[in-house]
A and B are shown apart, each in its own frame.
Chain A
Amino acid sequence: MYGRGIYALRDVSLVVEKGEFVFLTGPSGAGKSTLLRLLLRQEMPSDGKVIVAGRDLARLSPGQAQAYRRNLGFVFQDFKLIPTKTVLENVALVPRVLGATSVQQQRRTYQVLKWLGLQHRMNAYPLELSGGEQQRVAIARALVNEPALVLADEPTGNLDPDLSLEIMDLFRDINARGTTVLVATHDRELMRHVGRRAFSLDHGRLMESA
């Protein structure tokens, strides 16, 4: 609930199973980002519960909340890249700071950057990149840790249709390896291409489960 009696989400009850690939759709302002923010524990529900892997997010201690977030891959709608760090530093930041300096981790970082066609832009700064490139860096950062759950907020909003389909294939790949994926998008074409379960939100209410 935001401000005075405005509910961004109401009576939303949905269950996503481990290993599923689910779309969250709906017009702008429907509450898609709000739902994802609840799952990131960036926002707390004024009412109701958000339970991930059997744990109520509201009951996590600050330390547990940070550990929970490290197991998530989150693609922000506004990318949230650090402008003073290069592409490589942005992608490798948290794992490196946490001491994952293993060769395997480095190989993983390069692999993800290559998947997303960023291998030539590794030493560029985010502001030197196009919107589409920045979006791909944001996706690379979300995937580099091989998280158990990936949450993506309009991850193809700045990409051309071909690249969007490629990114969806990438999400499908990682889903095939057991990662649970939740993608918010208003692109029905894209959803049809991937052909997975979709929840539709409108004015903060869950309308259908197609």
Chain B
Amino acid sequence: MRLHAIRYCLEEALASLWRQRWSAGLSVLAIAAALLVLGVFLLVTVNLDRAVARWSAAAEFSVYLRDDIAQDQRAALNAMLEGHPAVASRDYVSKADAARRFARDFPDLAEGLAELPQNPLPASIEVRLRAGRTDSATVDALAQQLRGAAGVADVRFDRRWLERLGGIVKGLAWAGWMLGAVLLTAAILTVATVVRLALHARRDEVDIMQLMGAPIGLLRGPLVAEGLLQGGAGALVALAALYGTYVAVRGRLTEAIGPSLDPGLVGFLPGGLVVLVLVGGMAVGCAGGYVAARQVR
């Protein structure tokens, strides 16, 4: 299609939308609502994903030492941790320290522990990781390396809850896409209905142009464009509402947590997803417009 034909389609579509501004507003809202729901899910999962990645890297783990660890093995372990970029700090917890800590945390059981002929608690090194500087793959690699080192009994790196959270995020994302798909289908049908109404209003004009030899594409074009414009407007409304929600929630969080809230922790959708929402809205509108336009044959 040539440029003036595209211009004609857009002009006709705008005029028709203006004539039907109330019903057009309705389908813009339908698209906006569908995309807003999808957007909220995306925003939540994107942020949870970000948090999971961060917490995975920021976690700490304990390296339990064998009682019979040799001096040089201990030195090798310290050397391994000393130079590692993911490690922020480390504390040595001796067998006696471990017993004291146990007695403090579980006073009822402390007596039983004291009666044992030998302190069963192992000595350990508690390793704290640098937040934000390392990804979870680096941390996993370090844990693996420590686990294989001589003199190490066990490395406890409790990430199960993080994995569970990761699973919840995936489930949420999936539910969001499913719900979004249902709502977007409904939005397509709404647009199709509204564009069909618009077609009905100017059916005579379309029939006349058809009798004068206008190509079918030129008769359908304004209807598809009408859907496209509704979809684009709906996406913009959804993005604005989503951004407003985001700013409000962020404000509440700052209020609740105080200025110590890590500014990088809660973020808006990345640019790629914003474009995806916009293009998705337009695609939904186009689909609805096309469904209606197929009546012109």
Contact = CB atoms under 8 A, between A and B. Distances in A.
Interface in A154-205: none
Most buried by B among A71, A83, A97: A97
Interface stretch (B38-46, B119-127, B212-220): B212-220
Nearest to A72: B213
Contacts of A101: 4
Given A66-B216, A82-B205, A84-B202, A99 B5 contact: yes
A67 B215 CA distance: 8
Contact of A82 (B2, B8, B204, B215): B204
A93 B209 contact: yes
Contacts of B213: 66-72, 94
A13 interface: no
A63 interface: yes
A66 B209 CA distance: 10
A69 B218 CA distance: 15
A70 B212 CA distance: 6
Contacts of B202: 84
A196 B210 CA distance: 32
Given A96-B4, A97-B4, A80 B214 contact: no
Contacts of A71: 213
B228 to A, nearest CB: 19
Nearest to B8: A97
A54 interface: no
A62 interface: yes
Interface string A46-88: 0000000000000000110011111110101000111111000
Contacts of B212: 69-70, 74, 93-94, 141
Interface residues of A, number: 27
A63 B215 contact: yes
B4 A84 contact: no
Nearest to B206: A82
Given A97-B4, A97-B8, A99-B4, A82 B211 contact: no
A102 B214 CA distance: 19
B216 A63 contact: yes
B208 to A, nearest CB: 5
B84 to A, nearest CB: 69
A193 B208 CA distance: 32
Contact of B208 (A62, A82, A98, A99): A82
A40 B214 contact: no
B2 A99 contact: yes
Of the candidates A66, A74, A80, A94, the one having the most CB atoms from chain B within 10 angstroms of its own CB is: A66
A81 B208 CA distance: 8
Contacts of A74: 211-212
B297 interface: yes
Contacts of B204: 80, 82-83
B216 to A, nearest CB: 6
A74 B218 CA distance: 20
B1 to A, nearest CB: 10
Contacts of A209: none
B215 A66 contact: yes
A83 B19 CA distance: 14
Contacts of A84: 202, 205
B9 to A, nearest CB: 9
A33 B297 CA distance: 23
Nearest to B12: A97
Given A69-B213, A99-B2, 19 more contacts: A40-B211, A62-B216, A66-B210, A66-B214, A67-B213, A68-B213, A70-B212, A70-B213, A81-B208, A82-B208, A93-B209, A94-B213, A97-B5, A97-B8, A97-B214, A98-B5, A98-B214, A99-B4, A99-B5
17 contacts: A40-B211, A62-B216, A66-B216, A70-B212, A71-B213, A80-B208, A80-B211, A94-B209, A94-B212, A94-B214, A96-B4, A97-B8, A97-B214, A98-B5, A99-B2, A99-B5, A101-B4
Interface of A: 40, 42, 62-63, 66-72, 74, 76, 80-85, 93-94, 96-99, 101, 141
